[in-house]
């Protein structure tokens, strides 16, 4: 197909009056002028955003954990509520939640998601498929180690979002190989079983388009060095560029526990004990010192920042100003899905810096003075790196993951190319994205998805059931 754009953000900046040729999901030509027969984009075209961090099932309890208790509510009480919800979810629920969520993501401009997937086992903690006499699942499929992973692949396929599936290795409830709690039984795999799951997911991925697989060792508190080393070696044997994501340094307590156990801060321990490279993404590296910050940058690893979730959980603020000034690579994620909106993530990424430093327009550079454009482009590229996907910017040879802004909305704010993304990030009160293309296919047209009614009905029914029990 051919798509004409009056204004389009390409790799090197804005261009006007261009026609893209898109074949088999990839941009194969970009030519000046309107080519006859091209579809006309009804607003400016920008690259799709990559969501570097999602736990899909957590979408089901957004809003259920905001009840105060005299300032005593913390990340750890939030986690307790999460475990209560989790104890009820079937594989069909997991798919229905993820499908609703992924449609919401698409509408807000996320064209690919890295799913940090740790809900592996059945409600009682038993491994799906372990007992062959169990027969098939309620959805008619036969159970296997990858049953829950398949639910995520199916949700991505039915919604149309690109997927990077990251099966999570989770073994301990705390530093020093503490035994997992009952609430964690659905997450736990031996290293051998985990490596088998990863292999199964690589095979599964071949049956779905626009997907790939990496791994996510959950955190240093949940995985010990021997398991981490084995899991990394295994995934590297399957794909030496597979993404590896890990939660690190999210809470001060985690830093204190790590210091007590290893005598090192979490990121420092990781730098000293794992072969970090540009395919590693450090999620919530919130509490880092200068040496750790420079260490992440020296390894070209990515900082996966989730500003709204980190604010919601009271985690703290990542040193984004210093990290970006030293050419660190960032990506953004919606994590707990308290917000599913890259515009809000980027707005808060900048606002957190303004509030702490009492300055303005911080996350811009001398080459790119527009904060909005700088953040959108850097987060999209960092997100692409974090998923090892052929996305992140629009150029010949890149996957056609793109957004068309709604000119009826953008015309009400500063909308020349120099200011457009500043208006989008800082001044939008409504979703300014009209159409969303993933891998060359329109998934959202005029803010609508073909499956949205059925998906939201299924989700609302499920939510009513969960909250009633």
Interface residues with Zn ion (CB under 5 A)? 335
**Residue 316 C-beta: closest distance to Zn ion, Å:** 15
CB nearer Zn ion, residue 4 or residue 318: 318
**Residue 216 C-beta: closest distance to Zn ion, Å:** 9
Q: Identify the active-site residue in 284, 287, 337, 449.
A: 284
Reference 103, options 47, 166, 164, 158; nearest CA is 158
Burial class for 3, CB neighbours closer than 10 Å (0-12, 13-18, 19+): buried
CA dist 233 and 403 (Å) reads 37
**Residue 247 C-beta: closest distance to Zn ion, Å:** 5
Q: Does the active-site annotation cover 247? A: no
**Strands annotated E in 296-440:** 302-305, 329-332, 402-405, 433-438
H or E element at residue 22: strand 13-23
Contacts of 115 (CB under 8 A, 6+ apart): 54, 55, 56, 98, 152, 156, 163, 164, 165, 166
**Residue 3 C-beta: closest distance to Zn ion, Å:** 35
**Residue 23 C-beta: closest distance to Zn ion, Å:** 36
Reference 88, options 126, 139, 123, 56; nearest CA is 123
Chain centre distance of CA 259: 28
For the CA atoms of 355, 357, 358, 360, the dihedral, rounded to the nearest 10 degrees, stands at -90
For the CA atoms of 236, 240, 241, 242, the dihedral, rounded to the nearest 10 degrees, stands at -30
Alpha helices, H only, 319-410: 320-325, 342-357, 371-387, 407-410
- State the maximum Cα–Cα separation within the chain, in Å, rounded to a whole number: 67
CB nearer Zn ion, residue 205 or residue 334: 334
CB nearer Zn ion, residue 76 or residue 414: 76
**Residue 273 C-beta: closest distance to Zn ion, Å:** 21
* Residue 184: strand, helix, or coil: helix
- Nearest residue to Zn ion, by Cβ distance, number only: 335
**Residue 134 C-beta: closest distance to Zn ion, Å:** 31
CA dist 121 and 187 (Å) reads 7
Q: Does the active-site annotation cover 284? A: yes
CA dist 259 and 331 (Å) reads 27
**Residue 56 C-beta: closest distance to Zn ion, Å:** 11
Please tell me what DSSP assigns to residue 174: S
**Residue 225 C-beta: closest distance to Zn ion, Å:** 21
Reference 85, options 102, 63, 112, 68; nearest CA is 63
CB nearer Zn ion, residue 155 or residue 436: 155
Show the tokens assigned to 81. Answer: 């509520």
Around Cβ 423, how many Cβ atoms within 10 Å?
A: 19
* Residue 275: strand, helix, or coil: coil
CB nearer Zn ion, residue 10 or residue 338: 338
| Distance (Å) of CA 134 to CA 127, 138, 164, 197 | 11, 11, 30, 20
Instruction: Find tokens 């150029």 and name the residue.
Output: 395
Find the distance separating the first CA and the last CA of the chain, reported in whole Å. 49
| Distance (Å) of CA 68 to CA 71, 74, 315 | 7, 10, 17
Q: Identify the active-site residue in 335, 406, 422, 435.
A: 335
Active site residues per annotation: 284, 335
């Amino acid at each position: 197909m051919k798509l004409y754009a009056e204004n389009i953000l390409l790799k090197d900046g804005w261009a006007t009056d261009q026609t893209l040729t898109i074949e088999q999901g990839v941009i194969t030509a970009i030519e000046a002028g309107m080519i006859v027969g091209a579809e006309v984009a009804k607003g400016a075209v920008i690259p799709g955003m990559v969501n570097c961090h999602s736990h899909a099932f957590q979408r089901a309890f957004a809003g259920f954990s905001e009840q105060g208790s005299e300032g005593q509510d913390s990340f750890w009480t939030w986690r307790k509520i999460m475990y209560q919800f989790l104890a009820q979810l079937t594989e069909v629920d997991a798919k229905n939640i993820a499908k609703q969520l992924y449609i919401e993501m698409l509408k807000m401009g996320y064209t690919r998601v890295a799913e940090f997937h740790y809900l592996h086992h059945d409600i009682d903690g038993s491994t799906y498929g372990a007992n062959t006499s169990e027969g098939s699942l309620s959805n008619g499929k036969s159970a296997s180690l990858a049953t829950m992973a398949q639910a995520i692949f199916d949700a991505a396929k039915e919604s149309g979002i690109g997927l990077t599936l990251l099966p999570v290795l989770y073994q301990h409830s705390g530093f020093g190989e503490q035994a997992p709690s009952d609430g964690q039984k659905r997450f736990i795999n031996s290293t051998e079983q985990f490596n088998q799951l990863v292999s199964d997911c690589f095979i599964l991925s071949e049956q779905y388009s626009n997907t790939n697989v990496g791994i996510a060792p959950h955190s240093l508190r949940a995985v010990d060095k021997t398991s981490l080393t084995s899991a990394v070696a295994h995934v590297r044997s399957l794909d030496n560029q597979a993404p590896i994501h890990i939660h690190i340094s999210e809470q001060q307590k985690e830093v204190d526990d790590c210091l007590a156990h290893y005598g090192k801060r979490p990121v420092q321990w990781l730098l000293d004990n794992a072969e970090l490279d540009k395919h590693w993404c450090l999620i919530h590296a919130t509490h880092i010192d200068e040496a750790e910050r420079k260490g992440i940058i020296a390894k070209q690893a990515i900082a996966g920042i989730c500003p709204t979730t980190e604010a919601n959980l009271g985690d703290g603020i990542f040193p984004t100003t210093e990290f970006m000034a030293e050419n660190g690579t960032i990506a953004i994620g919606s994590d707990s899905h308290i917000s599913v909106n890259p515009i809000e993530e980027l707005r808060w990424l900048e606002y957190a810096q303004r509030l702490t430093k009492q300055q303005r327009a911080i996350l811009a550079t001398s080459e790119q003075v527009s904060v909005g454009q700088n953040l959108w482009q850097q987060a999209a590229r960092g997100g692409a790196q974090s998923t090892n996907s052929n996305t992140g910017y629009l150029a010949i040879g890149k996957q056609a993951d793109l957004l068309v802004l709604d000119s009826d909305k953008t015309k009400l704010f500063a909308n020349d190319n120099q200011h457009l993304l500043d208006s989008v990030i800082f001044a939008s009160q409504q979703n300014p994205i009209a159409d969303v293309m993933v891998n060359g296919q329109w998934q959202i047209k005029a803010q609508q998805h073909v499956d949205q009614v059925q998906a939201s009905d299924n989700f609302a029914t499920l939510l009513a059931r969960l909250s009633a029990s």
